[in-house]
Structure formats: C-alpha cells, structure tokens
C-alpha cells in the first residue's frame, strides 16, 4: 500500500490553450481538482497561461502564475513556492510531458516535490507507445499487431511487416495530434514525417488499423488505498476508425447490456 504524504501546498499544472490533446475535459477537471484539494485545507498554486479559463480565476486557487507550462518556468515557481506535491493529471499532454521532463532533470527530487496521482513511471509507460504495447502484452491484454519506429525508414519497414492499412500513433501525444491512417506505402511516406514532428521523443507506433468495431470507454478512478470505481461507461456513436475528436460520445453506453 502506498505511503501517505504530508501535504500542505500543491502545485497544479494547467493545460494552457484548449486544443487537441488538451481538450475541454482538461479545462474542466482542473477547477474540480482545485476545489477537492482546497476542501482538504491544502494550499493550491496554479500555472496556466490561459486567462480565459475558470482555472485562473482568483476565486479558486491561492496563487495563479500566468506562465507557459514548460520545465524552465515551472522550476522557477517550484523554487519560489516550495510545494510539497505536484499535480500533473489535470493539464493534458502538456502537463504530463512537463512533469516527465522535470523528473528527468532531477528538479522534483532536488526540491522534494512528490508527484500526486499517477507516478512518473506510469505516465511514461502510457505515453511511450512501445512501452505501452509491451505492458499490455505482458499483462495478457490483446492489442493489434504493431511496431515502434524512430525514423521514416523504420516506419515503412514496420508497415510492410504489420500489413496495410496501418494506424500511425505519435508517442507522448495521447490526444491524437499527428496520428493518421495509411492505406498504402505512398501515403505513409508522405505523412509520417509530420507525425514525427509531433513527438518530443521522435517515436511513432505503426499499428494494424482496426475499422468498424464498436468503441466503448470506461472512466475508472482509483485512490491511494486501491479503491476503484467505474465512474462512467461511454460509447462512441461512430465505430472505430473515426477519430475521437470527430466522433460523438454518449454516456451511459446505449447498445450494451449490463452483463
């Protein structure tokens, strides 16, 4: 069981502008997190350059820094405010990537800042496409045939082995920016360079493309003691093959029975 951490002040990283990979749910979850932390009588500081979000309202957080969510800026705030913990799960991919880089640089250890919620290892395992694929396979969870690639040549070779059509997914970009479907070598060669440009680690996953399956999502929350609850079961109105940002989602699921 994880050890409880004595926390008096936390730093929450917002997402900045609302965009693909930092959609409205990030903007909404941030204020909810601030309220929950404040109910525990814990001080909350926020970094978010978006002046048009409720997150940066003076009525919510104790202090708001209208700064880019980037490691250099966040480190300066940490040095000044000395928070006990940091919340990375409420700012979309920008906050997640920033937290990973802060850990890599040793900033969090240097100032004794605890990551509250999903640990850095979990963020990396979910964001690194190849690590995620291997984790699923190790746990016996079926995934489509896929291979990671770090160059155009590797991507083209992987697609030949996986078989067209393929879905190209960008590492450390969970929201889907840069991802695309290629039904031929020509299309893959034309688009894969743009996909690499969207990845901070220059990695993509070339995956067998699944079409027309029913797509179901479960939102699950687990606390530090291991208690888990399925908050919602959602169903995409469109079948798989239509990207989330282009598809309507309904909750609860409309075509599944309880069993």
CA–CA separation, 117 and 224 (whole Å): 8
Instruction: Tell me the CB-side half-sphere exposure of residue 135, using CA atoms within 13 A.
Output: 12
pLDDT for residue 1: 46
Query: With helix as H, strand as E and coil as C, how does the chain read?
Result: CCCCCCCCEEEEECCCCCECCECHHHHHHHHHHHHHHHHCCCEEEEECCCCCCHHHCCCCCCEEECCCCCHHHHHHHHHHHCCCEEECCCCHHHHHHHHHHHHHCCHHHHCCCEEECCCHHHHHHHHCHHHHHHHHHHCCCCCCCEEEECCHHHHHHHHHHHCCCEEEEECCCCCCCCCEEECCHHHHHHHHHHHHHCCCCCCEEEEECCCCCCCEEEEEEECCCCCEEEEEEEEECCCCCCCHHHCCEECCCCCCCCC
pLDDT for residue 179: 81
Provide the whole-model pTM: 0.78
pLDDT for residue 24: 65
pLDDT for residue 182: 92
What the chain holds in terms of domains, given with CATH numbers, is 9-125 (3.40.50.20), 144-208 (3.30.1490.20), 216-250 (no CATH)
pLDDT for residue 33: 92
| Residue ranges in the chain modelled with pLDDT below 70 | 1-5, 19-26, 174-177, 241-246
N-terminal to C-terminal alpha carbon distance within the chain: 31
């Amino acid at each position: 069981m994880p050890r409880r951490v004595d926390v008096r002040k936390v730093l929450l990283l917002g997402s900045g502008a609302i965009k693909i990979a930092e959609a409205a749910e990030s903007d909404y979850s941030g204020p909810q997190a601030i309220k929950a932390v404040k109910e525990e009588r814990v001080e909350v500081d926020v970094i978010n350059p978006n002046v048009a979000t409720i997150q940066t309202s003076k009525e919510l957080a104790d202090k708001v820094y209208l700064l880019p969510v980037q490691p250099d800026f966040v480190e300066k705030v940490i040095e000044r405010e000395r928070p006990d913990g940091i919340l990375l799960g409420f700012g979309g991919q920008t906050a997640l990537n920033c937290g990973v880089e802060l850990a890599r640089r040793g900033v969090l250890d240097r100032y004794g800042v605890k990551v509250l919620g999903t640990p850095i290892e979990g963020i990396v395992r979910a964001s690194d496409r190849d690590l995620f694929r291997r984790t699923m396979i190790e746990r016996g969870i079926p995934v489509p045939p896929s291979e990671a690639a770090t160059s155009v040549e590797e991507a083209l070779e992987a697609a030949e082995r996986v078989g067209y059509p393929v879905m190209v997914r960008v590492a450390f970009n969970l929201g889907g920016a840069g991802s695309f479907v290629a039904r031929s070598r020509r299309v893959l060669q034309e688009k894969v360079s743009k996909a690499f440009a969207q990845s901070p680690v220059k990695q993509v996953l070339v995956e067998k493309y699944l079409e027309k399956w029913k797509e179901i999502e479960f939102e699950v929350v687990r606390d530090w003691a291991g208690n888990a609850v399925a908050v919602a079961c959602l169903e995409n109105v469109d079948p798989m093959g239509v990207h989330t940002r282009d598809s309507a989602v309904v909750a609860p699921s409309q075509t599944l029975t309880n069993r």
